[in-house]
Amino acid sequence: MKHHQIAFVCDFFYPRLGGVEMHQYQLAQCLMERGHKVIIITHAYGDRTGVRYLTNGLKVYYCPILPFVDQCSFPTLFGFFPLLRKILIREQIEIVHTHQATSYLGQETIIHAKTMGYKVVYTDHSLFGFSDAACIHINKVLKFILSDIDHAICVSHTNKENLVLRASLDPYKISVISNAVDASRFTPDPSARYPFGTINIVVVSRLTFRKGTDLLVGVIPTIAAMFPEAYFIIGGEGPKRQLLEEIREKHHLHNRMELLGSIPHNEVRNVLVRGHIFLNTSLTEAFCIAIVEAASCGLKIVTTNVGGIPEVLPKHMVNLANPDPEHIIEALSLAIQQAKSTPAQEFHEQVQTMYNWRCIAERTEKVYDSLPAGSNLLINRFKKVGSFGPWAGILGVFIAAIDYLFFLILCWWTPSQNVEVMPDFPTASYKQNKKAYGDHLFSVYNE
């Protein structure tokens, strides 16, 4: 089996917690378990700067880049190039793997990595529309940036169709590899359902418009009036939290509704096992890892029928509803009537069989094995980026040309042979590293 040297690049990583962040962490751990070298490149989070080590020696570069909106890097275009080049040379990276369309750090890295001749893989985690100004802008940028990647990965078939249309990519260059869940960390515990004598409905989500908080606000008062035993447990923070606080005051639901605020990921399972039903009201989802975690904990799922969600769980685990309050109330009412007969342990065992990070890592490894040799031939890039119209094509060719000239200057200013190569962390191959580097002690910061 060929071992790869891989760099994950994304604006979104620990200490921020979410689906993209956990996907990178879990995939990195399983790839390292299979003998590959993986590092993470992201921007600084407050005082968390420089190089840190996470579990099993996962090395994270928190680069000194200013966050902009929603923890995305401030656009520099060429400003990150010198540091990125040094990191990739220092770590002897072969494959650059970026994540998420809205990560500017990832977009910028794709341009620079292709200029340097690296193999580049991109994973898309979200769905975007075609009508509003923000989505149109992102789609245009992706069409230029992804024109030269070696392969793309999507987390659902719906996500793949969406990316093909948005970025004009060849469908044969896109693989569908879903998210997964560590089922051993999300085990059911019916005895933890508190308060007792109620039907507990759990919501764990960012409280934003895209996550359907406005729909949730329309559902809670009606369900509370219809079912006196219904009790809502809501975890998460966001700009829409005030709406939930308002309906709690207006409808006197203080003893029927908990607002837990932000929940650390290691505490999510403790919240989920309190529930009988998990409610997801998202307006758009490429996959939705939250409903898989909830099903693994033995909860009945009620969710909006959007994006890739219908592909995630079998029909007996989930009640699907159109994204409007009336249909969600209907689906949730049916789930409340069935809640106490849900076979929690059976749900957990089925999820454990369906979703496994080691399987995801194996399939991702096959993508890496199939990548063609990297190339930085300028004429090929000009042909690809120049085919997007008279104005966008000219702009793309100009950016690619300037990036290549900047790369030549960096090679002259700091030749690659002058960049110190770092020894690998002594994980599974500790004996080989010890033989190569002697009794060198690695200073580790364990999170």
Report the percent of the chain where pLDDT is more than 90: 66
Cis preceding linkage at 195, omega within 30: yes
Whether 5-180+359-437 and 183-354 share one fold: the answer is: yes
pLDDT of residue 50: 93
pLDDT at 56 over 70: yes
What's the sign of the alpha-carbon dihedral 140, 98, 212, 328?
Answer: positive
Work out whether strand 95-99 and strand 119-124 pair parallel, antiparallel, or are unpaired.
parallel
Contacts 24+ apart (CB under 8 A), 252-256: 253/220, 253/221, 253/224, 256/224, 256/230, 256/231, 256/232
Evaluate if residue 299 carries a pLDDT over 70.
yes
Higher pLDDT, 439 or 155: 155
C-alpha span between 156 and 161 (Å, rounded): 9
320-330: pLDDT as tens digits: 999 999 999 99
Q: Which CATH architecture has domain 183-354?
A: 3-Layer(aba) Sandwich (3.40)
CATH annotation of 5-180+359-437: 3.40.50.2000
Look at residue 434 and tell me whether its pLDDT is greater than 80.
no
Residue 374 has pLDDT above 70, yes or no: no
Share of the chain above pLDDT 70, in %: 93
Residue pair 95/368 in contact by the 8 Å Cβ criterion: yes
At residue 13, the pLDDT reads 93
pLDDT in tens, 108-122: 999 999 999 999 999
Q: How confident is the prediction for the chain on average, in pLDDT?
A: 89
- The whole-angstrom separation of Cα 184 and Cα 187 is 6
pLDDT tier at 438 (50, 70, 90 boundaries)? very low
The dihedral region occupied by 89, where left means phi > 0, alpha psi between -120 and 50, and beta the remainder, is alpha
The stretch 183-198 carries a mean pLDDT of 91
> What pLDDT score does 392 carry?
75
Read off the tokens for 216.
């949730």
- Tell me what pLDDT residue 376 has: 60
Judge whether 294 and 310 are in contact, CB under 8 Å.
Answer: no
Say whether pLDDT at 384 is over 90. no
In this predicted structure, what is the pLDDT of residue 148? 84
Q: What is the pLDDT of residues 233-247, one digit of tens each?
A: 999 999 999 999 999
* Euclidean distance between CA atoms 88 and 68, whole angstroms: 24
Domain ranges, ordered by start, for the chain: 5-180+359-437, 183-354
Arithmetic mean of pLDDT, 399-423: 92
Distance CA 273, CA 247 (A): 25
- What does pTM read for this prediction? 0.85
Predicted confidence (pLDDT) at residue 442 exceeds the cutoff of 50:
no
d(C-alpha 342, C-alpha 325), whole Å: 24
pLDDT digits (tens, 9 = 90+) for 360-372: 999 999 999 999 8
β-bridge mates for residue 201, sequence order: 232, 277
